[in-house]
């Protein structure tokens, strides 16, 4: 009988990914994420998180009072257009190791309309997790309570010896870590980091926002490399 699930990972360690020490590990670097990615060596990172600051939901719903009585914190953040998102993902594909993973946050409009146009040929969506935020948001019809995390793998596509944890549900309930407009679930991200990296490996987040990925990486003993164009409070 063939073995479907393997216990643990058979991948080597990836503990240093920078070409030159232009940025710091385990530090909130203030930078353009594309410049940070450009400083990373080819095929040197097993895991990247990316939460594009796009306006998918806000533009679709077209609320006239955005920035006044609703969506104030989100409306103040610099937004990424489609070309910028594709540029980020192209660089992420370069720095990921073969079989490495990108965890890509999307809203329901991008989920329905598709994101295949963002993906280079060597990246494939292999799974998805629904994050139940346990709090209702805005909506003309249904009220938003979930976000969606696409699990993307760089070819060759393989789970055995690469994905070490097999008890992560595809619907995850967890309140946001803080009040940042792009706050994400720390415990979920920590479990995913454990699944696809070894202790001491580097996890990259080029658009760190609330730095929830850094918090998650610290929980499970991984190094963090990330930054944001906005100055963030002390983590």
Quick: pLDDT tens for 11-25.
889 999 999 999 999
pLDDT digits (tens, 9 = 90+) for 120-143: 999 999 999 999 998 887 777 888
What pLDDT, on the 0 to 100 scale, is given for residue 202?
A: 98
Question: What is each CA distance from 143 to 70, 75, 95, 111, 139, in whole angstroms?
Answer: 14, 19, 37, 16, 4
**DSSP at 38:** H
Question: What is each CA distance from 124 to 26, 103, 120, 190, 193, in whole angstroms?
Answer: 29, 11, 8, 22, 19
What pLDDT, on the 0 to 100 scale, is given for residue 72?
A: 47
What pLDDT, on the 0 to 100 scale, is given for residue 66?
A: 45
Pairing assessment for the beta strands 123-132 and 146-154 based on DSSP bridges:
antiparallel
Give dist(CA 191, CA 217) in Å, integer.
9
Give kind and range of the element (H or E) at residue 163. none
Q: Which residues of the chain have pLDDT under 70?
A: 1-7, 55-78, 178-181, 231-235
Contact assessment for residue 212 and residue 189, using Cβ atoms and an 8 Å cutoff: yes
């Amino acid at each position: 009988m063939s073995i479907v699930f393997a216990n643990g990972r058979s991948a080597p360690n990836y503990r240093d990914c920078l070409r030159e020490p232009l940025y710091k590990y385990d530090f909130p670097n203030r930078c353009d994420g594309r410049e940070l990615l450009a400083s990373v060596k080819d095929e040197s990172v097993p895991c990247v998180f990316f939460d594009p600051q796009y306006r998918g939901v806000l533009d679709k719903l077209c609320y006239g009072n955005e920035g006044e009585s609703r969506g104030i914190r989100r409306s103040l953040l610099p937004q990424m257009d489609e070309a910028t998102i594709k540029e980020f993902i192209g660089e992420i594909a370069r720095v990921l190791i073969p079989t490495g993973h990108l965890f890509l946050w999307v809203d329901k409009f991008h989920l329905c309309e598709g994101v295949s146009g963002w993906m280079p040929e060597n990246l494939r969506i292999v799974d998805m997790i629904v994050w139940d935020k346990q709090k209702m948001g805005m909506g003309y019809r249904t009220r938003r309570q979930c976000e969606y995390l696409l699990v993307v793998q760089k070819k060759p596509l393989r789970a055995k010896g690469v994905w070490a944890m097999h008890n992560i549900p595809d619907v995850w309930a967890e309140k946001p870590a803080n009040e940042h407009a792009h706050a994400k679930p720390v415990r979920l991200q920590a479990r995913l980091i454990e699944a696809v990296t070894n202790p001491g490996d580097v996890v990259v987040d080029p658009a760190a926002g609330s730095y929830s990925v850094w918090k998650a990486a610290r929980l499970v003993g991984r190094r963090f490399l990330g930054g944001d164009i906005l100055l963030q409070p002390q983590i």
